[in-house]
Amino acid sequence: MDYGLVQLWSGNLKNIIKKTFGGLSTEYYLRQIFFAALFSAFILYVVAQGEGPIQYGFIGLLIANTLLYPYSRFVYENVVGFILGRQVFFVNAIFMLVVKLLTIALCWCLAIFIAPIGLLYLYFRNSK
Residue 25: per-residue pLDDT: 85
What per-residue confidence (pLDDT) applies to 19? 64
| H-state helical runs in the chain | 3-20, 26-48, 56-84, 93-109, 111-126
pLDDT at 118 over 60: yes
The arithmetic mean of pLDDT across residues 34-38, rounded, is 95
Cβ–Cβ under 8 Å, residues 19 and 127: yes
Under 8 Å between Cβ of 110 and 61:
no
User: Would you state the pLDDT for residue 1?
Assistant: 47
**pLDDT value, residue 95:** 93
